[in-house]
Amino acid sequence: MNETPDRPVDRKLLELLVCPVTKTTLEYDADAQELISRTAKLAYPIRNGIPIMLPDEARKIEE
């Protein structure tokens, strides 16, 4: 698959999104291109500027 460079994420969109599992706020990690749910311990990927808010696509994180 041909990857395109990461596009910036709309800040207004980030303000509206919540974790689909816990319904809590998310932290934006620009370097990793992820939205992090500390409560669910999941990191949702952002691909081509689009947050992928599917729990099956999220990476489990340890704190």
- Which two structure tokens, joined as six digits, stand for 30? 């620009």
One of 3.40.1380.10, 2.40.50.140, 2.20.25.10, 3.20.20.70 is the CATH number of 18-60, namely: 2.20.25.10
Kindly state the DSSP code that residue 12 receives in the 8-state scheme. Answer: H
5-61: pLDDT as tens digits: 567 788 898 889 999 999 999 999 999 999 999 999 999 999 998 999 999 999 999
Instruction: Assign 1 a pLDDT band (cuts: 50, 70, 90).
Output: very low
Model confidence, pTM: 0.84
Please give the single-letter amino acid code of residue 34.
Answer: E
How many Å apart are CA 56 and CA 1, to the nearest integer? 20
Q: Kindly calculate the radius of gyration of the chain based on its CA atoms and give it in whole angstroms.
A: 11
How many Å apart are CA 20 and CA 35, to the nearest integer? 12
| Residue with token string 């947050």 | 51
